[in-house]
């Protein structure tokens, strides 16, 4: 099947999924998000596919949700019912990637920002280039960090670093990501896909049934209580889109300026 914003390539039991909007640093349009969910759901019960490598075209992973995308901007208009349905697309994509049956590896070059971080931490493993970084800028945009991402970060790096990463919104370089547990490996720039293929080959050589059972067991046990704490995060996101802070943050982002938030 051909996609508009993704490239999907199969090599035997390995599949590469490439975010393919290089003109916008692979920002996540609504269409790309729908395609990402369709791909991940399609891997369920697909016993040919053992490992999936998720990466980005043209030397960058993803600069996050595309706030200039017309469909994304519709999250800020329409009735409450319409807006609520639209904001659920991100959480559904990340959950689909977390729960898909094959082992998933995010090969991260360049930017990994906002929704890009959410997508990467929904994968089983992350390999980063030396020059790559992660950043969560939602607070500056007057938004909460949603898509079910907070418990995933908690499992990986603990509460204090999760707060630091989200509240400060600063770049986290690859070496610090490795030290914190956000990445399993840091490699030379331009070689994350190659490193991902090496890891994939090791996994593919293992017996498929216990590999699938182990992934399922770890994912379910680690996240057993996650939905009790994140069932409302999409609604929180929706609520924040009504605030003055968000309007100022979004305007500043589009104008490439710093937001001028009022002190309280």
pLDDT bracket for residue 230 (50, 70, 90): confident
Q: Does 264 have pLDDT greater than 60?
A: no
Tokens of 156: 């990986």
Least confident interval from 162-171, 218-227, 245-254: 245-254
What ranges do the domains of the chain cover?
A: 6-188
Share the mean pLDDT of the chain: 93
pLDDT bracket for residue 263 (50, 70, 90): low
Least confident interval from 10-14, 118-122, 227-231: 227-231
Q: What kind of architecture, by CATH, is found in domain 6-188?
A: Alpha-Beta Complex (3.90)
pTM for this prediction: 0.94
Render pLDDT for 4-60 as a digit per residue (tens, 0 to 9).
Answer: 999 999 999 999 999 999 999 999 999 999 999 999 999 998 989 999 999 999 999
Q: Does 225 have pLDDT greater than 70?
A: yes
- Mean pLDDT within 181-186: 98
Mark out the alpha helices in the chain (DSSP H runs): 30-43, 70-73, 80-87, 89-99, 115-120, 149-157, 159-168, 174-180, 192-204, 208-222, 226-230, 233-240, 244-254
Tokens of 216: 């399922």
Render pLDDT for 78-96 as a digit per residue (tens, 0 to 9).
Answer: 778 888 888 899 999 999 9
């Amino acid at each position: 099947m051909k996609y508009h914003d993704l490239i999907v390539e199969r090599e035997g039991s390995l599949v590469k999924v490439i975010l393919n909007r290089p003109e916008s640093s692979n920002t996540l349009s609504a269409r790309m998000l729908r395609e990402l969910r369709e791909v991940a759901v399609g891997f369920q019960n697909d016993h040919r596919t053992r490992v999936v490598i998720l990466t980005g075209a043209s030397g960058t992973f993803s600069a996050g949700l595309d706030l200039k995308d017309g469909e994304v901007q519709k999250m800020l208009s329409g009735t409450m019912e319409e807006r609520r349905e639209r904001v659920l697309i991100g959480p559904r994509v990340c959950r689909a990637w977390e729960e898909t049956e094959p082992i998933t590896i995010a090969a991260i070059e360049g930017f990994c920002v906002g929704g890009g971080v959410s997508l990467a931490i929904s994968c089983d493993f992350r390999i980063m280039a030396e020059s790559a970084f992660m950043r969560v800028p939602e607070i500056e945009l007057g938004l909460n960090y949603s898509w079910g991402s907070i418990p995933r970060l908690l499992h990986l790096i603990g509460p204090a670093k999760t707060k630091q990463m989200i509240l400060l919104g600063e770049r986290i370089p690859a070496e610090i990501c490795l030290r914190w547990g956000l990445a399993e490996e840091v490699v030379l720039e331009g070689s994350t896909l190659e490193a991902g293929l090496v890891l994939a080959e090791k996994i593919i050589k293992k017996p498929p049934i216990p590999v699938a059972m182990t992934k399922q067991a770890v994912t379910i046990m680690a996240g057993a209580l996650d939905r009790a704490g994140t069932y409302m995060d999409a609604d929180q996101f929706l609520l924040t889109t009504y605030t003055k802070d968000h309007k100022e943050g979004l305007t500043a982002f589009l104008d490439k300026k710093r937001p001028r938030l009022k002190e309280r």
